[in-house]
Structure 1
Amino acid sequence: MKIVVTGLGATTPLGGTIRESWTALLAGESGASTLLQEWVAQNDLPITFAAQAKVPAHDVLPRVQTKRLDPSSQFALIAAREAWADAGSPEVEPERLGVDWATGIGGVWTLLDAWDTLRERGPRRVLPMTVPMLMPNGPAAAIGMDLHARAGSRTVVSACASSTESIANAYEHIRSGLADVVIAGGSEAAIHPLPIASFAAMQALSKRNDDPAHASRPYDLSRDGFVLGEGGAALVLESEEHAKARGARIYAEVIGGSVTSDAYHITAPDPEGSAAARAMREAIALSGGSITDVVHINAHATSTPVGDIAEYNALRRVFGDHLDNIAVSATKASTGHLLGGAGAVEAAFTVLALHERTLPPTINLVEQDPEIPLDVVTSPRPLGRGDALALSNSFGFGGHNAVAGFRTI
């Protein structure tokens, strides 16, 4: 059974829709900017910039919904509705429609705002919707209720690998006959003083407060950490038979996904990249092809000194000399790192790269690290003719590795 992508949606630091985000990505834009909120100075944050959603959720959703949803759920609903409309709002029995959604942190704004309310104003002022809003499964539930999806509304929480794992799960749920159509993806809304302070204390964030647009620079010798981002993306997956029966437009085939774990360290990746390499090999094996069929990779590439090299080691372990023939894009340079939503955004970009046969650029690469000799796409590049296989990589704290594969159709 072939599984295909028939709908895409997103709200990112580059644009309020998937098309706006894709256009800005190809134009080489950056979504990072200085944070103007009062809480930056109030908390004396050492990092004063991030990649905020280009279009605030309250500009899209009715006020009654924004009041009852954590920002992570707001982004999820916006992305899912766009993807659903893009797929043609397929008529499907609720019992055959599923949701596989992800987040890395969940409703952090709701949780911490409620804690402030409890401390400052007492328990009677804590909102009764606090727990439903802060639950990590809140975004999946919001989408499921909005689209009446009753084949399951599942949530993955595996740090920055989360939404790629959700795509892998969605593929398996359709393949195993549990659903005909699944909305998969992920969202995150963690541009909050506490996550910023914590990531900064870990030395994980870029310190380029004076130059946010050039702060995320994967593979560059001067890279010094990632840029925190927010938003989300959704993909509508269904069997090729189901899609063709309703005359749907098909973007690409999903060849499947693989999930492994390092069992090495809670935050640092295994420098040898053996488990990450196994995830890539298993994803390729699901396609029935070989490593030489892979022509493009949207890399995890967070712009951290250690992480970028670890991923390179994993890539070289898998592809050997063929890696020199693979065009690599590191789109976090433009979007920042959306944590649990990153994989879904990058998967959507990978699907569009195949569908439009245009590989997106990696911005801010000035002096490439000689220890990472990849063919990095630095300006939009034609994909060329013929069948093409592409991977989207995601790796997260806890040693989580997830890889999704896509093929032209």
Structure 2
Amino acid sequence: MRKRVVITGLGVVAPNGVGVTAFSEAIKNGVSGIAFFPELRDLNFSCQLGAKPHISEDKKREYLSELQLRNFNSSSILYGVIAGMDALKDAKIEPANPKEEPLWDLGIIFGSGTSGVEKFREAIYKIDDKNVRRLGSTSVAQTMTSGVSAYLGGLIGAGNTVTANSSACATGTEALLLGYDHIANGKAKYMLCGSTSDSGPYLWGGFDAMKVTTYKFNDAPNKVAGPMSAEASGFVPGSGAGAYFLESLESAQKRGATIYAEILGGAVNNGGQRGGGSMTAPNSAAVQKCIKDALVNANVTGDEIDYINGHLTATIKDPDEIENWSLALNRRGAEFPYINSLKGMVGHCLAASGSIEIVSAMLQLQEDFIFPNVNCENLHPEIDALIASEKIPRQLRKSTLQTIAKASFGFGDVNACVIFKKI
């Protein structure tokens, strides 16, 4: 018999708030972490805006030792370590004593898109093709995709599955569902899951070259047109990490743990880059199928969904996403659930987007609010024709949510959708 799975710990490192408390206040008040970067202007980027968390040197030393920080230059691992260890602490689970056995029942699935881009650039910059062995002894651990899960595994003493996944923008949502399966099927007692993403020009430059980022608000970072707005012209690249601690409902109740939500189920699929889908564009049929399959797996109907935490990116695909939700749930107009997108405040955090957004969804579910869609005063006309304007809150809204949906749609035509419920 499959076990019921709940979330009992959260951690977040976001451009508008590091730590759950700061992040919660920021999203309630529509605080943006988007800023102008002179470095991007000097590099002739069309989009000279970005969003990255602010981590002080003192903050780093709360999580990593001086030895670990020696020659350390991986923001994605740093973000992931902070978010992951905060989620563990929030769940009130102690790391294994270094002199004792690992925690055999605790596993980690923590994903990333790319890891240690700046570290790899730094290492390569210092050598030439005849001195490749001089890359440095710390380059491997900081640039392998599983670097963040490996660091967390060592800090915690995790003895179960310790691995990483990588599915572009869907990484964080997929990681949660992978961890959910481990708990539901009795393969682990605890799972720490999440995702992280680097920041900086060596990662963001590719998106600028693809012309999917906005260039219209370089002189007004606080006024960047948000997702679903008529003026939306592309996303702002972001970075950070989100994490969640999973265990069975039985275990959480026995421990007296705080329960943020139950994971009812979900689905992951791929559009196969067919039917209008491509490396960068979603196949609408696959998106709708992913949502419908998630509902079936969670044993809920479309009518039960109170709120959607959207993937919505402030690109030309926003109306398609709204239409896909409308068709998959069979709801439109005033019958459509409330929906918002965090990307108006933190940019598109790439591989970390799903995990940071899941943390925002858990906070809304627990604290009975819906955060505002910022800079979305004028709705895109195609969206306005599909759903009632009041279903896209522009101000903080108090609302008692029960059953909610979160989906992420990533490069490679990959989709992931998960259904949560308040207990």
- TM bucket (normalised to shorter chain) is over 0.9
**1:343-386 alpha-carbon deviations (Å, 9 max, x no partner):** 011111111111111111110102101201342121121223xx
Q: 1:108 to 1:321 in 2, by over 3 A?
A: same
Shift, 1:243, TM fit: 0.8
1:169 aligns with 178
Q: Distance in 1 between matches of 2:46 and 2:125?
A: 22
Which residue of structure 2 aligns with residue 101 of structure 1?
A: 110
1:64 counterpart (64, 67, 73) = 67
Letter aligned with residue 224 of structure 2: A
- 1:382 is matched with 398
1:291 maps to: 302
- 1:142 partner letter: Y
Instruction: Give the match's secondary structure for 2:195.
Output: strand
Q: Structure 1's 256 and 90: CA in aligned 2 closer, same or farther, altered over 3 A?
A: farther
Number of matched residues?
A: 401
- Gaps of at least 5 residues in structure 1 are none
Is structure 2 residue 58 aligned with structure 1 residue 45? no
Answer yes or no: is 1:232 the counterpart of 2:244: no
TM-fit CA distance, 1:332: 0.8
- Counterpart CA distance in 2 for 1:124 and 1:151 is 33
1:400 and 2:400 equivalent?
no
Q: CA deviation at 1:148?
A: 1.0
Show the counterpart of 1:76: 80
* TM-score, structure 1 as length reference: 0.93
Secondary structure of 2:381's match?
coil
Matches within 5 A, 1:291-310: 291-305=302-316, 307-310=317-320
Could you list the per-position Cα deviations for residues 38-68 of structure 1 after superposition, in whole angstroms to 9, with x for gaps in the alignment?
xx35533232220111335763334433334
Asked whether the 8 Å contact 1:226–1:304 carries over to 2, the reply is: yes
> Which among 190, 194, 218 is matched to residue 185 of structure 1?
194
Partner of 2:168: 159
SS of alignment partner, residue 164 of structure 2: strand
Q: Report the TM-score, using the length of structure 2 for normalisation.
A: 0.90
1:46 is matched by which residue type in structure 2? S
CA contact (8 A) 2:292 2:329 kept: no
Q: Judge which range, 114-123 or 192-201, deviates more.
A: 114-123
Q: Alignment partner of 1:236: what SS?
A: strand
Distance 1:399 1:276 in 2: 9
Partner Cα separation in structure 1 for residue 292 and residue 406 of structure 2: 13
Give the distance between the partners of 1:390 and 1:114, measured in 2 at CA.
44
Q: In 2 relative to 1, CA 389–144 (structure 1 residues): closer, same or farther, beyond 3 Å?
A: same
Following the alignment from structure 2 to structure 1, what is the Cα–Cα distance between the partners of residues 135 and 95?
40
Describe the shift of the 1:293–1:91 C-alpha distance in structure 2 as closer, same or farther (beyond 3 A).
farther
The offset of 1:217, in angstroms, is: 0.9
**Structure 1's 291 and 328: CA in aligned 2 closer, same or farther, altered over 3 A?**
same
Write out aligned runs for 1:19-34 (5 A): 19-34=21-36
Q: Secondary structure at the match of 1:88?
A: coil
SS of match in other structure, 2:404: strand
Give the aligned partner of residue 350 of structure 1: 361
Percentage of matched positions with identical amino acids: 27
Q: Deviations over 1:184-225 (max 9, x none)?
A: 110101x32233322111111111211122225101111111
Paired residues of 2:271 and 2:287 also in contact (CA < 8 A):
yes
Is 1:314 aligned to residue 317 of structure 2? no
Q: List 4+ stretches of structure 1 deviating above 6 A.
A: none
Q: Does residue 194 of the first structure (1) align with residue 208 of the second (2)? A: no
Q: Does 1:367 align with 2:378?
A: yes
Q: 1:31–1:54: 8 Å Cα contact kept in structure 2? A: no
Partner of 1:16: 18
DSSP 3-state at the match of 2:168: coil
Residue 110 of structure 1 pairs with residue 119 of structure 2 = yes
Which of these residues, 126, 136, 146, is aligned with residue 145 of structure 2?
136
CA–CA separation in structure 2 for the residues paired with 1:107 and 1:172 = 29
Contact 1:83 1:235 in 2 (8 A): yes
Q: CA–CA distance in 2 between the matches of 1:138 and 1:69?
A: 12
Query: Contact 2:266/2:298 (CA < 8 Å) preserved in 1?
Result: no
**Contact 2:326–2:336 under 8 Å retained in 1:** no
Is contact 1:206-1:216 (8 Å) kept?
Answer: no
- Tell whether the 8 Å contact from 1:216 to 1:336 is kept in structure 2 after alignment: no
What's the RMSD between the two structures over aligned residues?
Answer: 2.0
More deviation in 59-68 or 326-335? 59-68
Q: Which amino acid aligns with 2:164?
A: T
Q: Matches of 1:57 and 1:188 in 2, distance apart?
A: 19
Unmatched runs of 5 consecutive residues or more in structure 2: 97-101
| Aligned residue type for 1:247 | G
Structure 2: distance between partners of 1:406 and 1:75: 25
Q: What is the alpha-carbon distance in structure 1 between the residues aligned to residue 292 and residue 94 of structure 2?
A: 34
Rounded Cα–Cα distance in structure 2 between residues aligned with 1:178 and 1:336: 36
Report the CA distance shift for 1:352/1:57 in structure 2 as closer, same or farther (over 3 A).
Answer: farther
Give me the whole-angstrom Cα distance separating, in 2, the residues matched to 1:333 and 1:57. 28
Instruction: Tell me the distance in 2 between the aligned counterparts of 1:162 and 1:236.
Output: 16
Contact 1:216–1:332, Cα closer than 8 Å, also in 2: no
1:150 to 140, 150, 159: 159
The CA distance in 1 between the partners of 2:321 and 2:57, in whole Å, is: 33
The alpha-carbon deviation at position 256 of structure 1 amounts to 2.1
Structure-2 residue corresponding to 1:280:
291
Tell me by how many angstroms 1:140 deviates.
1.0
C-alpha distance in 2, partners of 1:357/1:121?
60
Partner-residue secondary structure (3-state), 1:371: helix
Whole-angstrom distance in 2 between the partners of 1:370 and 1:328: 16
